Amino acid sequence: MSPFKGQTGLKRIVNAASYSLDGLRTAFKGEAAFRQLVLLNVVLVPLAFWLPVSRGERAILIAVCLLGLIVELLNSAVEAAIDRISLDRHPLSKNAKDMGSAAQLVAMSMVAVVWGVILLG
């Protein structure tokens, strides 16, 4: 059992929320790609409410936008962990970072495809 897992109940939930907000602040301050995706979401999410689409389509439009943010947070976490281990160039480190970047490419492609399919019908 990890010594960092000592809290239970409501205290654990409060701590987890605090750590999550810290992560969002860190990503926003330190990751330009995350800020760009937040800006994209600030445009696309309200647009999804304005478009004449069904509730299900609206939910999907919003979900794929949020998924892009989630993937970027995970990609940034992988990069931070790799950099924490070593700043030396290593083929495995490159692979991990490249795969995180590829995940983000797939997520953003999914945003484009879903929005395109729903809007172009």
Would the annotation count 50 as a binding residue? yes
Say if residue 101 carries a ligand binding annotation.
yes
For residue range 77-121, what is the model confidence (pLDDT) as tens digits? 999 999 999 999 999 999 999 999 999 999 999 999 999 999 998
120 belongs to an annotated ligand binding site? no
pLDDT at 23 over 90: yes
Structure tokens belonging to residue 16: 């987890």
Report which residue type is found at 42: V
Domains and CATH numbers, the chain: 8-118 (1.10.287.3610)
| Residue among 64, 72, 93, 100 flagged as catalytic | 72
pLDDT value, residue 7: 75
72 is catalytic: yes
Q: What are phi and psi of 5, to 5 degrees?
A: -110, 40
Q: Report the amino acid identity of residue 48.
A: A
Known binder of ligand: residue 79? yes
d(CA 12, CA 16): 6
